[in-house]
Amino acid sequence: MTRQLIADLMKSETGLDSVVIQGWVRTRRDSKTFFFLEINDGSCLKSMQAVVNEDAAGYADSKGIATGASVTVKGRLVASQGKGQKWEIQADSVELVGSADETFPLQKKRHSNEYLREIAHLRPRTNFYGAVFRIRSKLAFAIHRFFNDRQFFYVHTPIVTASDCEGAGELFRVSTLDPKNPPLGEGGEIDSSKDFFGRSTYLTVSGQLEGETYASALGNIYTFGPTFRAENSNTSRHASEFWMIEPEMAFCDLAADMDLAEEFVKSVIKEVMESCADDLELFFNFIDKELRQRLEFVLSRPFQRVTYTEAVEILQACGKKFENKVEWGVNLQSEHERYLTEEHFKSPVTVYDYPKELKPFYMRANDDGKTVAAMDVLVPGIGEIVGGSQREERLELLLENMKKHGISEKDYWWYVDLRRYGSMPHAGFGLGFERLLMFITGVGNIRDVIPYPRVPGHAEF
Ligand code: 4AD
Ligand code: MG
């Protein structure tokens, strides 16, 4: 008999005569002639209580069954006398599968998230992380469903690449050269033509550029994959490896791009609130008392929209002292973004039309000569969650921009080709998967929503 999932048994309408569960013991409580086990099998937040009487098979050898051990329990699903649970299992047999001794670190006491990060291989066995990672899985699925339902094609863009989409130089180098003795060119520089790919290569910071090539063929596409940034940002919202969703749409302008971003964020939040209702309760009750209200509020109202110029005016007029001064032409810092979304608008807000000097080479120039058709979606508690733009589809203007940014036409010949052969207006955005997950769960640190976080100075596991 194969194991049944506790998630399914918990939903049973009736008692059942013969069930089998397998999972890990959360707690054991002993009485004279019987003991209780709380067993969690990862399928849901709830653990199943098993009552093991002395007449159950395996009772005699059950000494080693302790917190952390894996077990098989067979028996009857019966209405529970205890409070907080509808069903429990009256065991006919209990079997220790793998023992765990008292060094198992997750004994029944509260641990800090900081400590649990050090045992990231065990932390999914806690209620909190179990819930985070079940929601993470459902959210990924909701994202694929959203795009699939709208006839977007899922494109796998490369992880190893020679291009730097964002032009910020935050690249992790990929090389098989001997670091102690690399081949050198005539000028003493490392000769990357001798490297594995015959050139310098990096981990991708974004799938956008390759995504644009597929949008120029399949129409509407999206990517969903890992991206890497070697930026030395030690914040609760930055990871060096994170997952990004990047839709790209042919024959599309910035307005439609902003519409899609809003519809997308709302739609996947709604789906997760439905499909992960039990797990989300944990966050509503214990992590952030205002979370449910905030999510419902976000779903019920349009996002606010302001131009960058209007945003700067709001920030200058608000009278609040910021650490970083606000002036037209400077990057909005996290404190500014959060003021806009948390205090001024008290709602998600899409800021668009940014100064061209602040943005990468591929963004489309607006007619004012000063701004580009860029947009960021800001949400309370996090700040930027989406960054996107309409792309420069006009060959001359793109080439001019590349020159200004010091980007060689020779290296990006394939990207420029798109503007030579059947160019069309197109637009897209990137959504940070972990940031969305933080927003949905109220979890305050990105290190707690990714299984094995990579941040400056840390790549354990
Ligand atoms: O704004 P970004 O840098 O935009 C791009 O990479 C574009 N190529 C996207 C596109 O238009 N296709 O990044 C997009 C989003 C950010 O809004 C943020 O949510 C997330 O990716 N992000 C990070 N998330 C976690 N850790 C980091 N270090 C991140 N950097 C960006
Ligand atoms: Mg950005």
Condensed to tens digits (0 to 9), the pLDDT of residues 373-426 reads 999 999 999 999 999 999 999 999 999 999 999 999 999 999 999 999 999 999
> Beta strands of 284-413 (E only): which ranges?
304-307, 349-355, 371-379, 383-390
Q: Is the CB of 350 under 6 A from ligand 1?
A: no
Contact 165, 205 (CB under 8 A): yes
Give pTM, 2 decimals: 0.97
Beta partners for residue 48, in sequence order: 39
Q: Is the CB of 386 under 6 A from ligand 1?
A: yes
Contact 374, 363 (CB under 8 A): yes
Q: Is the CB of 229 under 6 A from ligand 1?
A: yes
Which atom of ligand 1 is nearest to 387's Cα? 1
Number of H helices, E strands in the chain: 12, 16
Q: Which residue's alpha carbon is nearest to atom 14 within ligand 1?
A: 430
Residue 447: the pLDDT is 98
Between the CA of 415 and the centroid of ligand 2 the distance, in Å, is 21
Residue 169: the pLDDT is 83
Q: Which residue's alpha carbon is nearest to atom 7 within ligand 1?
A: 430
Nearest one of 4, 81, 101 to 36, comparing CA atoms: 81
Residue 82: the pLDDT is 80
Q: Cα–Cα distance between 353 and 376 in angstroms, integer?
A: 9
Q: Which residue's alpha carbon is nearest to atom 9 within ligand 1?
A: 430
Q: Which ligand is nearest to the CA of 228?
A: 1
Residue 419: the pLDDT is 98
Local structure of residue 455 (DSSP, 8 states): B
Question: Mean pLDDT by 10-residue block, N- to C-terminus, for the chain (461 residues)?
Answer: 95 96 97 97 98 96 96 97 89 98 91 96 98 98 98 98 90 96 94 96 98 98 98 94 98 98 98 98 97 95 97 96 96 95 95 97 98 97 96 98 94 97 98 98 98 97 96
Residue 398: the pLDDT is 98
Look at the block and give the residue holding tokens 């963004």. Answer: 363
- What would the two tokens of residue 457 be? 């100075």
Q: Cα–Cα distance between 209 and 45 in angstroms, integer?
A: 40
